Structure 1
Amino acid sequence: MKNIELPILDTTFVENLIPQKAPFVMVDKLLLFEENKIVAGLTVSNKNIFTSNEVFQESGLVEHMAQSVALYTGYQYFLKNEPAPTGYIGSIKTIQINRLPKLNEQVETSVTVLQEFMGVTLVDIISRVNNEVIGTSQMKTVLAS
């Protein structure tokens, strides 16, 4: 198993842990990784395809949440020296967006794995800006077979 020091702020390294590629990358930091938990980050920029009028749009925040889950899986596989599988959102049970992040704000998203079974992962997700909860979700992600 590899020993990498967290946080990982190298955007290229983080991008290589997920199947999405530019311009569709919605995570740029891996802040914390533990068994059944990850904290991912994103700095909202005008270069992001989901930023409009200096505000990160709902669809971008939902994708950021999903990619935070993908980062959890990708980092698990990286630590085992195995290629990460591709996955997708199987279902979104709940989602609530309290506000949208603005240009240059740092979004930190905590993903807690509730259950993992045969490639299906059920997670609780909380996104924050400066400790303010801006969105929550519960999703199931599914690994492609």
Structure 2
Amino acid sequence: METIPLLNKEAVENLLPQKFPFVMVDKMYSYTETSLVSGLKIQNDNIFVDHNSFLEAGIIEHMAQSVALHTGYEFFLKNETAPTGYIGSLKDIEIKKFPKVDDTIRSAVTILQEFAGITLVDIVTTLNNEEIARGQMKTVLAK
């Protein structure tokens, strides 16, 4: 059963600082103050696709933009403009499988800590409910 996204491609893109062709999230399935589930259907024209496979950099960028989407949606709910954020650090990133063109991946973001514009998150990326990547990321909001 396909879950209907809370936000579709156009709404998601409005909440991200990245613009085409660098957008690596096209759906938001769920949102709470401490979590988010995002999605991406991998298209043939994606800049991180090589020989029909979605590359490591694309998976990591998808994870980072999932965190950015959480921040963007949080600010949207407060009727404020979201600040730009940056990846501060990556920890224990493990990629087990590379998705292919036309696959839809999902990332579940869990916020572990948030303090002074620095957010520590745990991220698990799945393809057809199978875990294909995981790790922790620290993001920093620009002042």
State the number of aligned residues.
Answer: 140
Gaps of 5+ in 1: 1-5
The alignment partner of 2:15 has SS state of coil
Once residues 84 and 48 of structure 1 are traced to their aligned partners in structure 2, the CA distance between those partners, rounded to angstroms, is 25
- 1:97 is aligned to 95
CA RMSD of aligned residues (A): 1.0
- 1:3 is aligned to none
Q: TM-score if structure 2 supplies the norm length?
A: 0.95
Alpha-carbon shift at residue 7 of structure 1 (Å): 2.4
Moved over 2 A (4+): 6-10
Alpha-carbon shift at residue 9 of structure 1 (Å): 4.4
**% identity of equivalent residues:** 57
The alignment partner of 1:20 has SS state of coil
Contact 1:101 1:129 in 2 (8 A): yes
Q: TM-score if structure 1 supplies the norm length?
A: 0.94
Contact 1:26 1:42 in 2 (8 A): yes
Does the C-alpha gap of structure 1 residues 15 and 79 become closer, same or farther in structure 2, counting only changes over 3 Å? same
Once residues 35 and 12 of structure 1 are traced to their aligned partners in structure 2, the CA distance between those partners, rounded to angstroms, is 22
Gaps of 5+ in 2: none
- 1:10 is aligned to 8
Q: How does 1:26-45 map to 2 (within 5 A)?
A: 26-45=24-43
